[in-house]
């Protein structure tokens, strides 16, 4: 480390993020060229992703707008995990699928967990771990307290365990 207070992203880390964004959306370089009506040439975009070509701030903003993400997502270094990492919740996807109840609760839970699995490209289908902060989001969606949600998840045996990361 050079003794500075802040770590700065490298052009390579920004290039990797650009490629990861495109791939996460299932797009080819040509798909983006077509979607932007040639505004982003496939060869140029590939050069940005390989870090063979410098990405100007103006072009980075255009790409962030295309991907509908904040510009900071391209240039921020991923934050290091804090020493007291939040609890991880491990869902039993098998039990959730096998539950006989048909409710908006179950439907919302399946949609939420499917969204997370899709974002991660995690298709093992047996279990899924999420951050405890995701519990807050889910409780908000279901319009119940986190305590009620946690109790309900444990009662229905949808939650395998809580891990300290």
- Position 2 scores a pLDDT of 56
What does the H/E/C string look like for the chain? CCCCCCCCCCHHHHHHHHHHHHHHCCCCHHHHHHHCCCCCCHHHHHHHHHCCCCCCHHHHHHHHHHHCCCHHHHHCCCCCCCCCCCEEEEEEHHHHHHCCCCCHHHHHHHHHHHHHHHHHCCCCCCEEEEEHHHHHHHHHHHCCCHHHHHHHHHHCCCEEEEEEC
> Are 11-75 and 87-164 the same fold in CATH?
no
- Position 107 scores a pLDDT of 85
Model confidence pLDDT, tens digit, residues 15-30: 888 888 888 888 899 9
The residue extents of the domains of the chain are 11-75, 87-164
pTM of the model: 0.47
Model confidence pLDDT, tens digit, residues 65-122: 998 888 888 887 554 443 333 467 888 888 888 887 777 778 888 888 888 888 887 7
Model confidence pLDDT, tens digit, residues 30-43: 999 999 999 999 99
CATH number for the domain running over 87-164 = 1.10.10.1930
Q: How confident is the model at residue 4 (pLDDT cuts 50, 70, 90)?
A: low
* Domain 11-75, CATH among 1.20.1530.20, 1.10.3720.10, 2.70.98.90, 1.10.260.40: 1.10.260.40
């Amino acid at each position: 480390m050079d003794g500075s207070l802040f770590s700065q992203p490298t052009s390579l880390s920004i290039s990797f993020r650009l490629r990861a964004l495109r791939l996460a959306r299932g797009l080819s370089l040509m798909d983006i060229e077509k979607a932007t009506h040639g505004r982003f040439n496939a060869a140029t975009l590939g050069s940005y992703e390989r870090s063979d070509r410098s990405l100007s701030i103006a072009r980075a903003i255009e790409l962030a707008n295309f991907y509908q993400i904040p510009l900071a997502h391209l240039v921020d270094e991923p934050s290091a995990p804090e020493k007291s990492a939040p609890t991880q919740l491990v869902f039993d996807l098998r039990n959730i699928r096998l539950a006989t109840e048909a409710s908006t609760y179950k439907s919302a839970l399946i949609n939420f967990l499917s969204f997370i699995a899709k974002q991660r490209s995690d298709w093992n289908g047996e279990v899924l771990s999420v951050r405890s902060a995701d519990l807050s989001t889910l409780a908000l969606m279901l319009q119940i307290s986190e305590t009620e949600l946690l109790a309900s998840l444990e009662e229905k045996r949808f939650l395998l365990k809580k891990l300290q990361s």
